[in-house]
Homo-oligomer: A and B are copies of this chain.
Amino acid sequence: MESEVTERMFSFVGGAMGPWRVLRMEAQIGQSLPWAPRVEAISSLVASCPKDAVWLLRGVTSNERYVTRAERQLLETKQPALGRPDAVHAALIPIRKSDTWWELAQDERRELFEERSEHIKTGLRYLPAIARRLHHSRDLGEEFDFLTWFEYAPEHSEAFEELVVTMRASEEWKYVSREVDIRLVRDSAA
């Protein structure tokens, strides 16, 4: 059981190490994170920020909170795996949502998330170009609620900009109280 859970836990370390070079890093909403030249993505829960690192963000992949069976079926036919050789661009976008969001009931959050903001529908339009993995952090006591990791090929950079602009204009994003946008390129591709 321990190992099963470990497989769902991920850590992102910002510092001098790791195969992902930071191209830019900016706070969209609220406070930024300290600048780090590189990011390492680790498939386990790192207990504390390594001595030479600048920040440590952790999260766990989990069951879906809003996706319906019909939506899942659409997603499954289109969503690509991480690690595609040509997907040398990545983005790590940690967000925190407001207390108002978390105090909403499940049906209210679902309505805002999809019926009013088309979160799933918007993501679907960029599949299979943009691969994505969502990590939940809130219940681990982390400073962000979610960490989303995206991977895409250089020719889809413009599509990715369009995706984040669309999401940020949505009603759901009114409940985002902090967002940092970290853009990366894989070393071998630099």
A161 part of interface (Cβ distance < 8 Å): no
Binds B, one of A121-129, A139-147, A150-158, A166-174: A139-147
A108 part of interface (Cβ distance < 8 Å): yes
Q: Kindly list chain B residues whose C-beta atoms are within 8 Å of the C-beta of A143.
A: 1
A62 contacts which of B71, B108, B138 (Cβ < 8 Å)? B138
Binds B, one of A2-10, A35-43, A77-85, A181-189: A2-10
Q: 1/0 per residue A66-94: CB within 8 Å of B?
A: 11110110000000000000000000000
Q: Kindly list chain B residues whose C-beta atoms are within 8 Å of the C-beta of A5.
A: 141-142
A107 part of interface (Cβ distance < 8 Å): yes
Please give the number of chain A residues whose Cβ is less than 8 angstroms from any Cβ of chain B in the complex: 34
Instruction: For the complex formed, measure the closest distance between the CB of A110 and the CB atoms of chain B, giving whole angstroms.
Output: 7
Q: Kindly list chain B residues whose C-beta atoms are within 8 Å of the C-beta of A65.
A: 65, 106
Q: Report copies per complex.
A: 2
Q: How many Å lie between the Cα of A70 and that of B1 in the bound state?
A: 37
Q: How many Å lie between the Cα of A127 and that of B17 in the bound state?
A: 55
Residue contact B6 to A141, C-beta cutoff 8 Å: yes
A132 part of interface (Cβ distance < 8 Å): no
Residue contact B68 to A107, C-beta cutoff 8 Å: yes
Q: 1/0 per residue A1-25: CB within 8 Å of B?
A: 1100110110000000000000000
Residue contact B9 to A141, C-beta cutoff 8 Å: yes
Residues on A close to B: CB < 8 A? 1-2, 5-6, 8-9, 45, 60, 62-69, 71-72, 102-110, 136, 138-143
15 contacts between A and B (CB under 8 A): A1-B143, A9-B141, A45-B141, A60-B141, A63-B102, A63-B103, A64-B105, A65-B106, A68-B106, A69-B104, A69-B105, A72-B105, A106-B110, A136-B139, A139-B139
